[in-house]
Structure 1
């Protein structure tokens, strides 16, 4: 508790820590209570605040720790009840349901009643786009176990009987990918399926998912190579090199088309694109030709890439760097160093950091850190720079990257990126005691688990 008492955030710092899921927010509440921040925490419970909620997931378990034993618990209880009665379109429904389930599991009987009413009043009728998912299914499964999972399976099964292609939650999702819970649920549903056609339909879909995973895992190398070649033939049949060159001339904005060609093309096709890039004068056409090499190594070091890498249009600069970062050549790293020393225009150009990773030199980390410390990025820019830092540091895997990783940890709004940075610090034995402590209270479960393993 002595360490927690050292954490005292002002309102702005607490709001940021809460929004970004930083352990400092929970540490502050543990040390000082909710009195001064209760409205901020209540808002975080109702509104999704994660930088990328789809990837990061909700934060119900973390937020619940802030108020479960607090004097203000009743305020949260009443506000959640009111929200279930009149749900705002801005409410994070899944997070609210998960919070209600956690409260119910701890004995809040009214919250249990309200959650059950909310989930079961949904008609599970599907949608025209076949992407329907009922809200709160995982939450009610947490609360009521097999009986809830059986009713969900029954309702989803009716959807599948009407439309076998309808999208429904997998049993993995309902059981939180817990192997023991999954096995118990699978056995229980299998018994019910013998007499319930709707449950049987759901189990057929679940078995199909299992079979697909097994087939994927059991495919031999020859079969995988054959499927890869089939995919290559399919893509290049649809987008041969002449069509790609024509699409670039037409300023086609379907970036994925150029990326797929780049991934599957042979050296002759890539060379044809690079030769065209060498003589092309239209910047918009050049941009689309560069997209081909976003995830693919150019077949040779075209001098044109150097001029495009210095282009005043940031889109062209960054596309050229995307192509260059795959190239294992000291010239690329030296260009990156010179750019960092002399030319970096702002936060958006920090992605040039990646160019240094394959041919590092003494002083690179100091140069990178000096560049980073001059920047004042917003959340999106900090996240994008963090991705470049991670790629650089993963390539290097050296203790000398610690200050760069610290910069990422301080600035990045994403719990996933921060967790990846902490993993690298652990692997290179340069994790500071301060960050290790804060990570024990982080919103991301994987980060907390990492600290448990690290601390033994």
Structure 2
């Protein structure tokens, strides 16, 4: 009992630090159930600074891969994705984890990503989940993101959106004329039209007031 408790403690300490020791401990001790500790690492990002370090999804996913309680952990992740409402970086971590499942033909995980995006968003973090949808479904994913933003704006007319999601997608997909595709879609989809109109108004109202995304990136690289 003491040995098991000590191993679990060593495992969890490594997991919180994000070191490879946790994976090796789990792999070398297949009779010990680390699922509760893994779930804690899945629901909470233990990075010192989640914004700077980014998510640890692949790290956690690799540890899950050697667990005998994969289904239990997966269910906890999808439940966490549906219910996290306080911490932006925990939520980005959960979206990224769910994407790894979705990329392996887990349709429930993919549905969970789509359902959670822009549903009860954390204040100031309505963008969370957009990247995962774009990476999973490309241009069709962008259409979904744009439509859902349009629906959100219709219900929250004082909301404003800039074009950084579109700009990011364009940078990653240079062969696609992204704005042209969105404008074509907007002719038959009023919510995409609402989204694009909102971006246009945002740009007009913020000229000369707010630095654009590229200027922010430039400033940050100089710090």
**TM-score category, normalised to shorter length:** 0.5 to 0.7
1:59 & 1:180 partners in 2: Cα distance? 22
CA distance in 1, matches of 2:177, 2:93: 23
- Aligned counterpart for 2:130 among listed residues 131, 137, 141: 137
Query: Deviation per CA, 1:326-347, whole angstroms, max 9, x where unpaired?
Result: xxxxxxxxxxxxxxxxxxxxxx
Q: Does 1:200 align with 2:196?
A: yes
Q: Is the Cα contact below 8 Å between 1:149 and 1:185 reproduced in 2?
A: no
Equivalence for 2:50: 53
- Where 2:173 maps in the other structure, the secondary structure is helix
Is the Cα contact below 8 Å between 2:57 and 2:97 reproduced in 1? yes
Q: Equivalences for 1:35-54 in 2 at 5 Å?
A: 35-54=32-51
Q: CA deviation at 1:173?
A: 8.4
Distance 1:100 1:173, change over 3 A: farther
Aligned to 1:79, which of 76, 79, 84? 76
Q: CA deviation at 1:42?
A: 1.2
Q: Say if 1:140 and 1:25 are closer, same or farther in 2 by CA, change over 3 A.
A: same
The 8 Å contact of residues 101 and 115 in structure 1, kept in 2 or not, is answered as: yes
Following superposition, the deviation at residue 44 of structure 1 comes to 0.5
CA shift at 1:50, angstroms?
1.0
Q: Offset at 1:70?
A: 3.9
Cα drift, residue 102 of structure 1: 1.4
- How far off is 1:28 after superposition? 3.4
* 1:3 counterpart residue number: none
Q: Which runs of 5+ in 2 are unaligned?
A: 1-5, 216-223
Question: Structure 1 residue 103: deviation in Å?
Answer: 0.7
| Structure 1 unmatched runs, 5+ | 1-8, 217-456
Question: What is the TM-score when the length of structure 1 is the normalising length?
Answer: 0.36
Distance 1:169 1:123 in 2: 21
Q: How far does the alpha carbon of each residue in 1:117-150 deviate from its partner, in whole angstroms, 9 at most, with x for none? A: 2226x277x97xxx35154222233333322322
Q: Provide the C-alpha distance between the structure 2 equivalents of 1:172 and 1:45, rounded to a whole number of angstroms.
A: 29
CA distance in 2, matches of 1:108, 1:197: 32
Contact 2:11–2:26 (8 Å) recurs in 1: no
Deviations 1:359-391 (A, max 9, x none): xxxxxxxxxxxxxxxxxxxxxxxxxxxxxxxxx
Cα distance in 2, alignment partners of residues 150 and 162 from structure 1: 20
- State the TM-score, normalized to the length of structure 2: 0.65
Larger radius of gyration: 1
Question: Are 1:170 and 2:169 an aligned pair?
Answer: no
The CA deviation at 1:172 is 6.5
Aligned 8 A contact 2:39 2:77 in 1: no
Distance in 2 (alpha carbons) for counterparts of 1:67 and 1:21? 14
Give the counterpart of 1:11 among 8, 12, 15: 8
Contact 1:97 1:136 in 2 (8 A): yes
Residue of structure 1 equivalent to 2:104: 106
Please list, as runs of the form range in 1=range in 2, the aligned pairs for 1:287-326 lying within 5 A after superposition. Answer: none
1:189 aligns with 2:189: no
Instruction: Check 1:173–1:72 CA distance in 2 against 1; reply closer, same or farther (3 A cut).
Output: farther
Shift of 1:63: 0.9
Partner Cα separation in structure 1 for residue 81 and residue 16 of structure 2: 23
In the alignment, the residues of structure 2 paired with residue 167 and residue 25 of structure 1 have an alpha-carbon distance, to the nearest angstrom, of 41
1:71 to 1:11, Cα distance in 2 relative to 1, 3 A: closer
